[in-house]
Amino acid sequence: MSRALTLALYALLALNLVAALTIRNPSEAYNPNHPNVRMFKRALTTNPADVAGKSYDFIIAGGGLAGLTLAGRLAEWSNFTVLVIEAGGDGSDVQIQETVPGFAYMKGLSAGPYGWGYKTVNMTDSLNMAKNYPLGKGLGGSGAINGMFWCRGSSDDYDAWGALNPGGAVAWNWAEMQKYINKAENVQMPPQAQADQFHIILDPKSHGTGGPLQIGFSKYIYPIVANWVPSWQSLGFTNKDLASGNVHGVTITPSTMDAAKGARSDSRTAYIDPKAAFPNLTVLSRQQVTKIMFNNTMGGNLTANGVQFQADAASTQYSVFANKEVIVSGGAINSPKLLQLSGIGPSSVLQPLGLPVLADLPVGQGFHDHVSFGMYFSIQAGLETWFNLAMNVSGAQDAALAQWQATADGPLTYVNEAIGYINAADIGFTAAPDAAGTAAAVSSKYGFPAALQKGIQAQYGIQNTQLPTDAGQFEIIMHLWGKDASSIAIQIALQHPYSRGHVALASASPFDPPLIDPDYFGVDADTQMMSAAVAWVRKLAAQGPLGAIITGEQSPGANVTGEDLVNAFKAASGTEFHPLATAAMLPKDSGGVVDTTLTVYGTQNVRVVDASIMPLHVAAHLMASTYGVAEKAADIIKAKYAYHPPTSSSAAPTSHGTTVAEPSSAPTDTTAGSSASSSSLSTGAKIGIGVGAGIGAVLLLGAILMFCVNRNKKANQPNKNGWYTNQPAATGYGQDAYAMQNVPGSGGGQGGGQQQRGFDSPHRPFDRPLSAAGSVDTMATGDLPRGG
């Protein structure tokens, strides 16, 4: 009898081992060595048939900066299935142009297939001129082809978002944005010798060190850059890390760069490419989402059940279905375009085009942008600039590329990093426009609704309050590519414009460019401030070390002043590539399009996650802020769908979050009969059963162990193919996993940390068991009905 019990015990241990090997711990689901991650294969595809007609929990329209960041974070939960649809390519055919930092300026991609090729309308207050409006098209979006600046606004900039959304369900302010920007980044300290030579100050407390996005400094910085900080200091400005919440001052700013590799880091390389695959994530490139499909209403709100997409106007149209949400991440120009095509937008835009008005919202209206103007200065002969490298004089670029390929070093690792911000007091501007009158005039010009006029008036009130503070009104950048080998440029960009414009459909075709009108200098205060900023830059160019090497002003020319100066900068100004507020996060009665959960008003399950939602501009390039928005959005969505186990004493959660009933205190007839049958077995029968169970358990245990060993051996072998079908394996980030450092706590990079486990989200606040409805086994949940 004792032998039978012993064998039965062995059998029980074997069954427990089986359970231990098969039950999935969701908090370890994306450890690179976790065996269950091998069960599914992540798909990157250009074939629409691979996804057409299928269902995914989340469909993300747009695989740019925000879209891929959000996709990577949502896919961390293995019971979510995520589809990203991107109009552009996967980048494998332009990998060198995207990866080499200097090529962002010298071999820019925005004019080719990886750019949208948009232009503005002819703008009345910009001498009736149309301006080029470059935007990234392809995985990573503009973040894969831009100038790589990594900087964030002042605390007042983000606190203004909160002030414009009083009583919002979700907080948006400096503390939140700092936390989520830090969550995205892994900052790399510069070598001390480089920091000393170029006056680089980096405050570790203001940055994150556990995120997937690599942030660093150029390995090679041109010697002329050493003149930047001291020249500002001679005017009384402070050299500091501008990420601390006050941008008034000067700095050498970091970039979205892996300094060790001398290579760009972007949402694709950071969140999608690493070798530990997200098996529940599918990315479809070279297909454009053309319409959001709605099939019914829920609680009075439109319910989206999928999207339509196609490669171009002549190609087949396909549909794919969403079980939970459709998330629009096309950027501040293409997101409003898609919403309008789907019947969400101003009736004044949709009705003349014959489009149904499903939700009459001011989509595309209230749009504003940083307007930028460049001044050129001649410098002493013999000083090294970008010109010879950019123009490949005497093979300079060829030699630099060979150096980069051999050592990941040299001049091609440099991008513009010399930057500073001046406030209204620095330029002597005090003539704040009347908030009510200016809002009324702007709204009348474009036919904005009364609710949006109210919202714009509130924005102007905040901008006027910021004028006498340290809020950055102008960004000043030194650019090393001038008109010739002995010249440089200094760029001036208005950070808090009063001018407002709109983005609207030009036709009902999704393949026609939209009408883009930022109305640069539409409010006279912007013109006055730009004139004053030009005068300030002339003062900087004559001061300190810069003044010692600058020999003259080439353009617009030192003698160009007054109305001639205004005409000069209106003619030469253009976008700084920072559009926002086209689907603004504001109360509905203030002209909002989305609420603080980023859900579109009047819909049950459509969100916008990109710079479109930012209601008021910040004194910074928008890249860091957009990563912060996407990171925060991922946590908002995870919070909504987090599984909460039942608390009833009559049910207990299983490993997959299902519930099982506790047995009653009194057995039923069936259980009683079973018990009686069991007790009637003879001792010999019991021994036989025990021996058989024991032998079977040992054999099963051996088989399981051999299977697991062989599977792990195969799983841990290096992947012979890159993530892209036409990309070799050994190509930088494609072979990297997320760094596994300690990540900062929720206090914006300070305080207690937690260990990042494989691919689990830093700051992961929602550990929970998998739900039965959407487990790693069932994948798609089928929460919503399909329809057209």
For the purposes of burial, counting CB atoms within 10 Å of the CB of 99, is it exposed (0-12), middle (13-18) or buried (19 or more)?
Answer: buried
User: Do the beta carbons of residue 111 and residue 746 sit within 8 Å?
Assistant: no
DSSP 113-130: TTB--EEPPPBGGGTTB-
Separation of CA 145 from chain center: 14
Report phi then psi at 408, rounded to 5: 55, 40
Please answer whether residues 366 and 455 qualify as being in contact, where contact means their C-beta atoms are separated by less than 8 angstroms: yes
Distance of CA 287 to the CA centre of its chain: 20
Task: Verify whether residue 479 is a known catalytic residue.
Answer: no
- Rounded CA separation 278/329 (Å): 20
Contact, 493 vs 474, CB < 8 A?
yes
In degrees and rounded to multiples of 5, residue 246 shows phi and psi of: -140, 110
Contacts of 710 (CB under 8 A, 6+ apart): none
User: Catalytic: which of 207, 502, 621, 763?
Assistant: 621
Q: Are 31 and 275 in contact (CB under 8 A)?
A: no
DSSP 8-class letter at 353? G
* Residue of 310, 253, 316 whose CA lies nearest to 284: 310
Task: Label the pairing between strands 574-575 and 301-310.
Answer: unpaired
- 424's tokens: 């209204």
Smallest CA-to-CA distance from 622 within 586, 580, 583, 575 is with 580
What are the angstrom distances between the C-alpha of 418 and each of 29, 250, 476, 489? 42, 8, 8, 12
Residue from 207, 502, 578, 617 carrying the catalytic annotation: 578
For every residue of 430-476, DSSP letters joined together read --PPPHHHHHHHHHHHHT--HHHHHHHHHHHHHHHHHTTTT---EEE
Is the previous residue joined to 556 through a cis bond, with omega within 30 degrees of 0? Answer: yes
Question: Is there a contact between 361 and 593 (Cβ–Cβ < 8 Å)?
Answer: yes
Query: Rounded to an integer, what distance in angstroms lies between the CA atom of residue 141 and that of residue 146?
Result: 9
Tell me whether residue 578 is one of the annotated catalytic residues: yes
Measure the CA angle with vertex 126, ends 121 and 128; round to 5°: 55
**Tokens, residue 107:** 């071999």
CB atoms under 10 Å from CB of 659, counted, come to 14
Show which residues are catalytic.
578, 621
